[in-house]
Amino acid sequence: MKKEPIPHQSRGLGANRSCRVEGRSLEDLLPVFGSLGIDPIEINEDYSRLPQYGSAPGRRNLRSRILEAGLRVASTWFYIDMLGAVETSSLTDLMDQIDKCFEIASDLGAEVVVMTPADSLPKYMTERGVEKFRHIVEELVCLARSYKLTVGLESARSQGTVCTPQAVTRLVREIGQAELTVVPDFEAWRVATEDLPLSHVERQETIAPAPAELKLFKECLPLARLVHAKLLRLDQAGEEPHFPIAEMMSAIRSSHRPHVITIEYEGWVPDIDPYLDCVEETRRCVQLIKRNLAT
């Protein structure tokens, strides 16, 4: 059955965090993704670096299996502390590492490689460090161009130096190259609740004082091809009270640029709801996003 696209939007499922099902491989889960009514998927490095995909033939075989399932790879996701890597090693070594990431993405047929700007160790987060990070991203863009790929810089934190929506949006605008885009992640706009405070794994001892302003989400969209729809805990009515879903989806509906919306259900993590069926919860997440897109 042909999947009719939602007007002005492509819809996607983030395979990176949403479907860690014990005893089932990524290929086992491809029919599950298809049953959710989506077609593009995002593959994160937890999967793309597995031994069976460690060679070009292995990755091309996975790509064929994905296409046979009626799906496609919209993007891949890799985490590298880019500034920290340069400070402790060299720019050459970092680019060699990222070159391997781009090779993986290209073999899988991805269009976008998502990378997360990370606030590195405090001693590196100086004015000089920020300028060095910009230079790293400029080199990243040149490398992406050689692979005919687009880099998406994820903005998933409301507080920080290089990882916030305002910092990423400003950098993408200043560099001004088609191969460089913003990937707004709902996490930056998460609202503090009694059950889930605004803390993050890299800084568990601190709590962010507030989510990012909604106007920043709207400012990201003209520079974005992908949107990471992070979702954590749906209520019985199928709503997600931890994010301003209605407002963000209204902004996406009004956007003049098409976006792939990659759903990242993270309720499976130990401090949320690891006992729930993550496939069924992801299905509910897809339904939530579709309802809001159709409003």
Report pLDDT digits (tens) over 162-176: 999 999 999 999 999
Cα separation of 45 and 101, whole Å? 9
Cβ pair 292, 236 in contact under 8 A: no
H-assigned helices in 69-126: 82-88, 91-108
Whether the pLDDT of residue 209 is over 90: the answer is no
Q: Rounded to the nearest 5°, which phi and psi values hold at 256? A: -85, -5
What pLDDT shows up at residue 12? 44
Residue 70, class by beta-carbon neighbours within 10 Å (0-12 exposed, 13-18 middle, 19+ buried)? Answer: middle
Q: In which band, very low, low, confident or very high, does the pLDDT at 23 lie, cut at 50, 70 and 90? A: low
Domains and CATH numbers, the chain: 10-271+278-294 (3.20.20.150)
**pLDDT beyond 80 at 271:** no
pLDDT recorded at residue 278: 87
Check residue 194 and give its pLDDT.
Answer: 84
Q: Which two tokens stand for residue 155?
A: 């903005």
Average pLDDT over residues 192-220: 80
Task: Tell me phi and psi for residue 13, to 5 degrees.
Answer: -125, 125
Mean pLDDT estimate for the chain? 88
At 26 the pLDDT is 87
The residues, ordered by sequence, that sit 6+ positions from 165 with a Cβ below 8 Å of its Cβ are 155, 158, 182, 184, 188, 212, 216, 217, 219, 220
229, pLDDT greater than 50? yes
The pLDDT value recorded for residue 238 is 96
Please report, for residues 150, 248, 263, 285, 286, the alpha-carbon distance to residue 230 in angstroms, rounded to integers and kept in the order given. Answer: 21, 12, 6, 9, 11
- The mean per-residue pLDDT over the stretch 280-290 comes to 94
Tell me the average pLDDT across 197-217. 77
* pLDDT attached to residue 143: 98
For residue range 127-162, what is the model confidence (pLDDT) as tens digits?
999 999 999 999 999 999 999 999 999 999 999 999
Report which DSSP code applies to 1.
Answer: -
- Confidence check: pLDDT of 188 > 50: yes
| Cα–Cα distance measured from residue 221 to residue 224, given in angstroms and rounded to the nearest whole number | 5
Q: For residue 9, name the pLDDT band (cuts at 50, 70, 90).
A: very low
pLDDT for 163? 93
Check whether 13 has a pLDDT greater than 60.
no
* % of the chain at pLDDT higher than 70: 89
Eight-class DSSP state of 210: S
pTM of the model as a whole: 0.90
| Structure confidence at residue 202 (pLDDT) | 53
Instruction: Choose from 18-27, 96-105, 117-126 the range with maximum mean pLDDT.
Output: 96-105
Residue 38's pLDDT band, with cuts at 50, 70 and 90, is confident
Is a pLDDT exceeding 90 seen at residue 15?
no
Q: Which of 1-5, 46-50, 114-118 has the highest mean pLDDT?
A: 114-118
- pLDDT confidence of residue 31: 92
pLDDT value for 205: 58
For residue 203, what pLDDT band results from cuts at 50, 70 and 90?
Answer: low
Would you mind telling me the total number of residues written for the chain in this entry?
A: 295
